């Protein structure tokens, strides 16, 4: 009785299209998280630049005193010049009447308001240390009574920003690890059908570098294709958001968005190359019997 030879393993073609689409979807999720982080940062910057500060003049300040202060304020590097607005005592009284009715100032008392300038700072200066320095600078001016801003609000913004940064960093790290594992498993399944071919090439004398090279070139192309697929999806999401919510355009930083898109493509290429190299070398180290 003769022993039949071991049956040859069934040959199947790896489904590279499935792996590219799967990796593209995973990279899309990672890129979508990145877009949320970028826009959250821009939203905070936008909010900081729309918090008004009030510079109050002394009741003895005249128009000759106020004009030089306005000019000097506009020349400061930390000011948004277009945000400077002068509100006189009379205008403040008119605003109060419009808001609360004519009777609110009907007691024939002196005008309780002061001449003021309202303005906004550039986002990077809206931190407690910078605000204190700016306040002390203008307090020393002989025509200025004081500079007012919401100190508690600035402290809350800084604390919430730190908490948000820690949270997003943790989520980003976890999501990156999950993405890496999913992409590695997807590529491992795609190359599983080629395990016998990889080992056979090594057994007939091919070097590991020679065996790995075509798979790494394929990984480079597929990683780029998956990254571009993810970027196309993210661009579609941004286009839809701009159509539905036009005010989002004011928060967009095209430079950061472009860097994010480029990073997604490079990250996809890197993970594809790394996973392909790990999987191919794993099959090269295995014995032939262990491949069955």
Predicted confidence at residue 280, as pLDDT, reads 77
Give yes or no: residues 61 and 39 share one domain.
no
Regarding predicted confidence, which is higher, 94 or 154?
94
Predicted confidence at residue 9, as pLDDT, reads 45
Give yes or no: residues 208 and 73 share one domain.
no
Give yes or no: residues 38 and 138 share one domain.
no
Regarding predicted confidence, which is higher, 101 or 233?
233
Residue 1 resides in a domain: no
Residue 124 resides in a domain: yes
For the chain, give the percent of residues with pLDDT over 70.
74
Predicted confidence at residue 197, as pLDDT, reads 66
Give yes or no: residues 40 and 88 share one domain.
no
Average pLDDT (211-233) is 86
Residue 141 resides in a domain: yes
CB 42 within 8 A of CB 252: yes
Regarding predicted confidence, which is higher, 69 or 48?
69
Residue 10 resides in a domain: no
Domain CATH for 144: 3.30.70.3040
Predicted confidence at residue 1, as pLDDT, reads 41
Give yes or no: residues 95 and 201 share one domain.
no
Give yes or no: residues 139 and 57 share one domain.
yes
For the range 207-214, what are the long-range contacts, defined as Cβ-Cβ under 8 Å and sequence gap of 24 or more?
208/281, 208/284, 211/280, 211/284, 212/276, 212/277, 212/280, 212/281
Domain that holds residue 259: 16-46+172-291
Predicted confidence at residue 126, as pLDDT, reads 81
Residue 162 resides in a domain: no
Give yes or no: residues 144 and 279 share one domain.
no
Residue 142 resides in a domain: yes
Residue 251 resides in a domain: yes
Residue 121: name the closest of 150, 142, 92, 145 by CA: 150
Please check the confidence at residue 54 and state whether its pLDDT lies above 70: yes
Give yes or no: residues 92 and 34 share one domain.
no
The predicted-structure confidence for 9-26, as pLDDT tens digits, reads as follows: 444 455 567 777 877 888
Q: How many CB atoms lie within 10 A of CB 27?
A: 27
Please check the confidence at residue 282 and state whether its pLDDT lies above 80: no
Give yes or no: residues 25 and 112 share one domain.
no
Residue 242 resides in a domain: yes
Predicted confidence at residue 275, as pLDDT, reads 81
CB 267 within 8 A of CB 178: no
Give yes or no: residues 75 and 140 share one domain.
yes
Paired residues of 56 in beta bridges: 116, 146
The predicted-structure confidence for 150-206, as pLDDT tens digits, reads as follows: 766 666 766 776 677 677 777 777 877 877 777 777 777 766 666 666 666 666 666
Regarding predicted confidence, which is higher, 256 or 161?
256
Domain count, the chain: 2
Residue 29: phi and psi, rounded to 5, are -65, -40
CB 19 within 8 A of CB 182: no
Helix axes 254-285, 195-203, angle to 10 degrees: 60
Q: What is the mean pLDDT of the chain?
A: 77
Predicted confidence at residue 289, as pLDDT, reads 58
Give yes or no: residues 269 and 126 share one domain.
no
Give yes or no: residues 201 and 274 share one domain.
yes
Flag the least confident range among 28-32, 56-60, 100-104, 166-170. 100-104
Average pLDDT (206-213) is 69
Q: Could you tell me whether strands 144-148 and 116-119 are parallel, antiparallel, or unpaired per DSSP bridges?
A: unpaired
Question: Residue 56: helix, strand or coil by DSSP?
Answer: strand
Average pLDDT (93-120) is 71
Please check the confidence at residue 232 and state whether its pLDDT lies above 90: yes
Please check the confidence at residue 93 and state whether its pLDDT lies above 50: yes
Average pLDDT (256-271) is 89
What is the C-alpha to C-alpha distance for residues 158 and 35, in angstroms, rounded to an integer?
21
């Amino acid at each position: 009785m003769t022993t039949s030879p071991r049956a040859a393993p069934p040959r199947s073609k790896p489904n590279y299209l499935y792996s590219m689409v799967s990796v593209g979807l995973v990279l899309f999720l990672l890129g979508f998280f990145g877009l949320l982080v970028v826009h959250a940062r821009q939203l905070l910057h936008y909010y900081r630049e729309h918090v008004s500060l009030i510079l109050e003049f002394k009741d003895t300040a005249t128009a000759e005193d106020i004009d030089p202060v306005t000019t000097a304020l506009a020349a400061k590097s930390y000011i948004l010049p277009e945000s400077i607005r002068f509100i006189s005592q009379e205008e403040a009284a008119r605003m109060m009447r419009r808001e609360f009715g004519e009777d609110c100032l009907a007691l024939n008392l002196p005008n309780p308001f002061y001449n003021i300038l309202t303005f906004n700072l550039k986002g990077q200066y809206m931190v407690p240390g910078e605000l204190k320095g700016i306040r002390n600078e203008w307090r020393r001016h002989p025509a200025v009574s004081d500079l007012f801003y919401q100190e508690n609000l600035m402290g809350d913004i800084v604390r919430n920003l730190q908490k948000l940064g820690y949270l997003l960093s943790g989520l980003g790290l976890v999501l990156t690890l999950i993405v890496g594992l999913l992409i590695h498993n997807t590529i491992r399944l795609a190359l599983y059908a080629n395990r016998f071919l990889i080992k056979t090439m090594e057994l007939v004398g091919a070097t590991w570098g020679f065996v790995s090279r075509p798979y790494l070139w394929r990984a480079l192309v597929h990683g780029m294709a998956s990254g571009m697929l993810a970027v196309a999806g993210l661009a579609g999401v941004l286009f839809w958001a701009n159509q539905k919510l036009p005010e989002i355009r004011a928060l967009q930083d095209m430079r950061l968005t472009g860097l994010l898109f480029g990073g997604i493509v490079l990250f996809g290429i890197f993970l594809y190359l790394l996973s392909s190299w790990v999987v191919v070398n794993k099959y090269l180290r295995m014995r032939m019997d262990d491949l069955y």
